[in-house]
Structure 1
Amino acid sequence: MRLRAVAAELPSREVGNADVVDLIAEHSADTFTGDLDALLRRVDVYLRHTGSRTRRWLDAGERPVDLLRAAARTALRRAGLEPGQVDLLVYTGVGRGFLEPAGAYHAAAALGADRAHCFDLLDACMSWTRAVQVVESLFLAGHHRTALVVNAEFSMRPGGAVVPGAFRLPAAKALASTFAACTLGEAATATVLTADDGEPWRFSFRSRPDLAPLCNVTLDNYRDFCDPTGKEARNGVGVFTSFGLEMHARGREEALAALAALDVPPERVDALFTHASSSSYWQGMADEAGLGPVVHHVYPRTGNVVSASVPTAMASGIEAGLLKPGQRAVGWVGSAGMSFGAFTFVL
């Protein structure tokens, strides 16, 4: 499989850490019990510790489908392809407007990809990585030749899965399940992949289903589809709930093990692209794995863009000349589920 092109589009509204702190102050003023000012100072310290500076959110009049369309057109143009040449379109990630049909059909219609077979793939922040692995398997089976993987991670609009629910805190202890929301950004990406007889991509995954309660966006009837632990909807049904600090702490060894299983010598890696949940966290793990000098972070300027994290970083790195044809890249992701994955390919 060959990566022909990858593009990312960010919305225009730039949101700084101070803006997020102000949101918490606004939405928690009537509900918080305790010293709200002390909590707000702690949020600011935590954000700076993760490496956060800014993120982008939709501004008035902007729509996810328009940014998705722009990313896809850019990627296809860079690949020298027309929409009608795409024979497989996969919509992936958490942000979506449809439970039925697959969002891939609406994306294909918006792009004019009239020949494309369509389906969605959802696996939280691991979604894009899983989709790429599935696409390669379909290529190897001879079912498709040209694929477009797209996502539109936009959850920060008022009334969405994050705002204002995850910013309305009743007490300081609620920060454990809400802080991850403070790091979120928005983005749309498009990745063009084609069948190729060159070196196959290699993937490594590890799963910890016992940690599934740590990060959820629930539906009304979620209790009938799991054995509830009390964590799944801590911030309310339908509201993003994530015990991010615990996830990072408990996932560290699993993530390192997934990377080690690739068995790629650090000196052979030209660029490392990680999940954008915290640049300080991933830099520390990259240093431990001997890949610190080649990691490319987008988190400080984009925030956590969920399943768009790795393709956004790849698009940024390629545009900056950090990864060139013939060079080896490694991708590295930790996700709700929990799952941990790493992959490698030559551009």
Structure 2
Amino acid sequence: MEVTSDSLDERFGRPRNHTFSRSGVRIRRFSVAGQSQSELAALALIDAMKNANIKGDSIDLLISACGVQEQALPSTACAINAHAGLPKGTPSFDVNASCLSFLMAVKLAATLLSVGTYRRIAVVSADQPSRGIDWSEPEASLIFGDGAAAVILEPGNSNQGVQSFLFKTYPEGRSLCEIRAGGTLCNPARGASDRDYLFRMNGKKVMKLALQNMPAFMEELLASKGMSVETMDLIIPHQASHLGMAHMSKRIGVDPSRIVDIYSTHGNQVAASIPTALHEALASGRLQPGKRALLIGTAAGLSIGGMVMDF
């Protein structure tokens, strides 16, 4: 369901335009009550199969690439498999790299396809940040929206697919974005509080650390094959925040017209952000066969990831 910033102002008794001015989001979507994360993911996968006229029994592998898992055990992929109605025995597992889970899963899938281990791989990202928002923390609540997107990958020729990939982690930022509880470190038996199960972040420090490392990261990512930002037809970033999008555009030196920006109408959808923006680029015709796109973003950890793909 659509949730406007004006409706959040009314909900929390804030002045009109308060939520939009703080978040930069006009509309985001929250899952309806009772809809699980894996159900949302399965809908995206079923839609992708329908659009490509592909049947479930032709998918050799399912990779769930979510920023937050549905539960600690078993994998979210198992539940997506069940809801999507894939044949029994279809291998399914999770890849977790926070907001960059989609990029990591696509790179893994591309590698498996290139060596012939599988012929057709589905990658699905779905997140429901609305289920873990601490509404008392505006910075960590107002920017998010729920979402899901899926891609189905097959072997291509040398002029298609992943041309460059880089992923780096700067663990000094590991506590800047976190959900403390839910694993072995912090749980009811170890005195976890209700707030430990909610998302929290220090956005200013996250941005500072990311921007410090972004120039060198970009130089290394694009060093091969004579690539540069100027050779990219389109930039598809993780839709982190309105300030993050603006600063990234300035730091990498690209005109905003070449950036796919759906933040104001979707918010930060965690791992689903990049594939949702990719879908929008394809559906709108901005990304077509023969074009080159840079997919890039940051994630909790703190990690930076980038991928150059030819379509």
Please classify the TM superposition score into its range, dividing by the shorter chain length: 0.7 to 0.9
In 2, distance between residues paired with 1:235 and 1:179?
Answer: 19
User: Which of 90, 102, 112 is residue 85 of structure 2 equivalent to?
Assistant: 112
Q: Secondary structure at the match of 1:167?
A: coil
1:80–1:102 CA distance, 2 compared to 1 (3 A): same
The corresponding residue for 2:168 is 206
Partner AA of 1:161 in structure 2:
G
Give the alignment's TM-score, normalised by structure 1.
Answer: 0.78
> Which residue number corresponds to residue 277 of structure 1?
240
Alignment match of 2:132 (pick from 141, 155, 161): 161
**Superposition map of 1:294-309 within 5 A:** 294-309=258-273
Distance 1:251 1:235 in 2: 30
Out of 96, 99, 103, the position equivalent to 1:125 is: 99
1:284 aligned counterpart, secondary structure: helix
Query: Residue type matched to 2:145 in 1?
Result: G
| Matching of residue 181 in structure 1 with residue 141 in structure 2 | yes
1:48 to 10, 21, 41: 21
Which of 75, 97, 107 is the matching residue for 1:102? 75
Which deviates the most, 326-335 or 59-68?
Answer: 59-68
Aligned counterpart for 1:242 among listed residues 190, 195, 201: 201
Please, which of 261, 265, 283 is the counterpart of residue 220 of structure 2?
261
Please tell me the residue identity of whatever aligns with 1:186. D
**In structure 2, what is the Cα distance between the partners aligned to 1:344 and 1:288?**
18
Alignment equivalent of 2:181, drawn from 204, 219, 222 = 219
**SS of 1:133's equivalent?**
helix
Taking a change above 3 Å as real, the CA distance of residues 341 and 320 of structure 1, as seen in their structure-2 partners, is same
Shift of residue 120, structure 1, vs aligned partner: 0.5
Task: Quote how far apart the aligned CAs of 1:75 are.
Answer: 1.3
| 1:59 has 2:68 as partner | no
Provide Cα deviations, 1:210-264, integer angstroms capped at 9, x if missing partner: 1101111122666579xxxxxxx99821111111122112211323432332223
Note the C-alpha offset of 1:23.
4.6
Per-residue CA shift, 1:33-70, capped at 9, x if unaligned?
xxxxxxx569927x436532111112346554443233
Q: 1:327 is matched with which residue? A: 291
C-alpha contact 1:271 1:330 (8 A) present in aligned 2: yes
Contact 2:9 2:16 in 1 (8 A): no
Which residue identity does 2:132 align to in structure 1?
A
Query: In structure 2, do the counterparts of structure 1 residues 282 and 259 end up closer, same or farther at CA, with 3 Å as the change threshold?
Result: farther
Equivalent residues, number: 299
2:60 paired residue number: 87
The answer to whether structure 1 residue 339 and structure 2 residue 303 are counterparts is yes
Letter of the structure 1 residue corresponding to residue 245 of structure 2: W
- How many percent identity over aligned positions? 24
Matched position secondary structure for 1:237: helix
**In structure 2, distance between residues paired with 1:108 and 1:121:** 15
Q: 1:49 to 1:101 in 2, by over 3 A?
A: closer
Look up the SS of the partner of 1:89 in the other structure: strand
Q: Which amino acid aligns with 1:184?
A: F
TM-score between the two structures when normalised by the length of structure 2 = 0.86
Structure 1: state its 5+ residue gaps: 1-12, 26-39, 169-174, 226-232
The residue type equivalent to 1:315 in the other structure is H
Deviation at 1:203, TM superposition (A): 0.7
Mapped partners of 1:224, 1:14: distance in 2? 33
Tell me whether 1:289 sits opposite 2:252 in the alignment: yes
Residue identity in the other structure for 2:127? E
- CA shift digits 1:175-215 (9 cap, x unpaired): 4xx51221110001111111223245111122111110111
84-93 vs 99-108, greater mean Cα deviation: 99-108
Contact 1:234 1:241 in 2 (8 A): no
- In structure 2, the partner of 1:193 is 153
Runs of 5+ in structure 2 lacking a partner? none
1:257-293: CA deviations, max 9, x gaps?
A: 3233222323321111111112343233224423223
Structure 2 counterpart of 1:6: none
Give 1:329 deviation, angstroms. 0.7
Instruction: Pick which of 318-327 and 202-211 moved more.
Output: 202-211
Partners of 2:177 and 2:12 lie apart in 1 by 20
CA contact (8 A) 1:95 1:151 kept: no
CA–CA separation in structure 1 for the residues paired with 2:193 and 2:250? 34
Aligned to 1:4: none
Q: SS at the partner of 1:192?
A: strand
What residue identity is the alignment partner of 1:243?
Answer: N
